[in-house]
Structure 1
Amino acid sequence: MTFPEINTLIQSQFGADTFVANTANPQPFLIVPADRLVELCSFLRNDERLFFDLLACVTAIDNGPGESKPDANTMDMIYNLTSIPYEHDLMLRVTVPRNAPVVPSLAHLWRTADWHEREAFDLVGVQFTNHPDLRRILLPTDWVGHPLRTDYVEEEQYHGIKTK
């Protein structure tokens, strides 16, 4: 199924223009409000015509502070979904405020979300509501900050070890 076909099916289910389709990029994607993410993803996984059985990747992007660019002071969550039996893919983008990056967890829909969301929490600081075990996964539990944020400042030392 192609992106336009998937988009048409989603729009017929949720209403025309509920989710904005961006087709300007080489890989088109749907822009999804955070409060509709779980509802949409449940449909994408459970509808027999789509059957997105794999959450292949979740990426958190810090668009940075400031006012010089249109997406400043936001963070984007990018979700790459795949239907293994139907061999089609879909990308979703959720934009949240940078000062309070909160997105609902998808761990109850796809087990892989557990690890992906913990990584986004650990490295970028995104909070996932209703996550079953939201804690650091790559860095020590006492690490200060989130190293993939654009304004992250590395500490000079960690437990007496120079980091720079």
Structure 2
Amino acid sequence: MATADAIEALRQRFPALDFQPRPLVTYADGRASDQLWIRVPREQLLDVMAFLRDDARTCFEQLCDVTCVDYLNYPGADDRFGVTYSLLSLSLNHRLWVKCFVNDPDPGVPSVCGLWQGAEWPEREVYDMFGVRFEGHPDLRRILMPQNFASFPLRKDYPLTGRGEREDFEVVTREST
């Protein structure tokens, strides 16, 4: 019940925001997982995340992951990208996923590196693969793709063949290494 208590604490602290927790997974037979996610507007992301980390009723001291979903052509999606934060409270033994949605052509969210130092590399990975910028990030640069790579390969509009098939990159062979 700790996650429900955390969501109630959020509602008390941010009464203007309409937190509607949803199950993280809904199975084909209609069952839903016990794990929940909430949607947070990008303008309040840092305030909500700081509250979730610092308040005794929430106590999410660990950021497990930062990832992203491209909702291009997804039925019912009103925003293009969903940046997802996986939070864990070790002391209260509960989890919560926080999603912040942004659109093209200027996708960007505030960086949570100031709250959780471990966010630095996952935010860089999301930037590198999806092109979502994390404002205030201390070192936002490519981490997996070459620095001169002009695209973001996990976007749904990235072509399956053609662009980015290493025509610009030096070929590495066993003999050259």
Question: Are the equivalent residues in 2 in contact too, given 1:20–1:32 (CA < 8 A)?
Answer: no
Give the 3 Å change call, closer, same or farther, for CA 61–47 of structure 1 in structure 2: same
Q: How far, CA to CA, are the matches of 1:114 and 1:57 in structure 2? A: 10
CA drift at 1:81: 0.3
- Which protein has the larger Cα radius of gyration, Structure 1 or Structure 2? 2
Aligned to 2:69: 61
Structure number with the higher strand fraction is 1
TM-score when scaled to structure 2?
0.82
Q: How far, CA to CA, are the matches of 1:115 and 1:28 in structure 2? A: 25
1:89-128 correspondence runs (5 A): 89-128=95-134
Aligned to 1:158: 168
TM-score when scaled to structure 1?
0.88
Aligned to 1:41: 49
Of 19-28 and 141-150, more deviation after overlay is shown by: 19-28
Q: How far, CA to CA, are the matches of 1:84 and 1:145 in structure 2? A: 38
Give the 3 Å change call, closer, same or farther, for CA 44–72 of structure 1 in structure 2: closer
Aligned to 1:87: 93
**Aligned sequence identity (%):** 34
Q: How far, CA to CA, are the matches of 1:115 and 1:158 in structure 2? A: 26
Q: How far, CA to CA, are the matches of 1:17 and 1:133 in structure 2? A: 31
Superposed CA RMSD in Å reads 2.1
5+ unaligned residues in a row in structure 2: which ranges?
26-32, 172-177
CA drift at 1:84: 1.6
The one-letter amino acid paired with 1:29 is: W
5+ unaligned residues in a row in structure 1: which ranges?
none
Matched, 1:147 2:153: yes
Aligned residue-pair number: 160
Q: How far, CA to CA, are the matches of 1:24 and 1:33 in structure 2? A: 18
Of 114-123 and 85-94, more deviation after overlay is shown by: 85-94
User: CA offsets, 1:112-147, max 9 Å, x none?
Assistant: 111111000000000111111100111111112011
SS of the counterpart of 1:20? coil
Q: How far, CA to CA, are the matches of 1:60 and 1:93 in structure 2? A: 9
Aligned to 2:14: 14
